[in-house]
């Protein structure tokens, strides 16, 4: 979402796989077991935030549960929540679906609470758009890892009203995400944004 000026959320996460990792691809005979519903939004981009004053996006009904399809839809929803937080500086909705120990989430909160569209810190096309969720993999009964390809447009960021603006060029990124089960639904356990 951001550039080398410290706004980029870069959290080193370890995506270690146990010997029992189950990869999920559309052609895999194990894909969807016990998940029976394929993801229905593979080509849908993350919804744009219409206004910095809009309410946070609601979690789609299909993003509830612990299926792989629900995991993909939750990831897309989480990106929408990130966009809302970047627009408003309000991270409440993101925090409600993130693990308390998520280091990458914490760095993202701190970044957008300080620099966001509502306070004039972000101007332009800073919103993340999901291109594709790939490598959706169960890493045990209670966790899923995924690589999410996103694009971000060109925008200007400034740390404070008197700071020199920094122009960030449009770029593709990969969100490395780990989800964990929480009360029968997925929550964000860890994330890292990497430039491709």
Chain centroid offset of residue 80 CA: 8
145 in a domain, yes or no? yes
Confidence of residue 20 (pLDDT cuts 50, 70, 90): very low
pTM (2 decimals)? 0.76
Confidence (pLDDT) at 160: 86
Range of the structural domain that residue 90 is part of: 22-26+58-190
Q: Please write the tens of the pLDDT for every residue from 156-189.
A: 999 988 899 999 999 999 999 999 999 999 999 9
What band does 141 get if pLDDT is binned at 50, 70 and 90? confident
* 85-125 tens-digit pLDDT: 999 999 999 999 999 999 999 999 999 999 999 999 999 99
Contact 70, 39 (CB under 8 A): no
Cα-Cα-Cα-Cα dihedral sign, residues 125, 127, 132, 135:
positive
Q: Residue 115 falls within a domain, yes or no? A: yes
Examine residue 39 and state whether it is found in any structural domain, yes or no: no
More confident residue, 51 or 185: 185
Is 83 inside a domain boundary?
Answer: yes
**Does the residue 97 lie in any domain?**
yes
Domain of 143, CATH number, reads 3.10.450.50
pLDDT at residue number 54: 75
160: in domain: yes
Neighbours of 64 (CB within 10 A): 14
Report pLDDT digits (tens) over 33-45. Answer: 344 334 444 444 4
* 148 located within any domain: yes
> Is residue 176, in this structure, part of any structural domain at all?
yes
Total tally of structural domains belonging to the chain: 1
């Amino acid at each position: 979402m951001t550039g080398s000026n410290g706004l980029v959320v870069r959290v080193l996460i370890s995506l270690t796989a146990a010997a029992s990792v189950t990869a999920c691809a559309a052609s895999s005979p194990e894909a969807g077991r016990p998940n029976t519903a394929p993801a229905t939004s593979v080509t849908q981009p993350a919804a744009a935030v219409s206004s910095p004053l809009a309410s946070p996006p609601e979690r789609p009904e299909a993003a509830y549960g612990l299926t792989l399809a629900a995991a993909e839809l939750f990831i897309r929803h989480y990106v929408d929540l990130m966009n809302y937080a970047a627009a408003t500086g309000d991270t409440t909705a993101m925090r409600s679906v993130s693990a308390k120990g998520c280091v990458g989430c914490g760095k993202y909160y701190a970044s957008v609470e300080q620099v966001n569209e509502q306070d004039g810190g972000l101007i332009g096309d800073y919103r993340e758009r999901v291109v594709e969720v790939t490598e959706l993999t169960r890493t045990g009964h209670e966790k899923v890892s995924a690589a999410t390809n996103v694009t971000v447009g060109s925008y200007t960021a400034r740390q404070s009203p008197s700071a020199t603006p920094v122009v960030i060029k449009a770029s593709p990124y990969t969100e490395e995400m780990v989800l964990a089960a929480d009360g029968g639904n997925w929550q964000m356990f860890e994330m890292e944004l990497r430039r491709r």
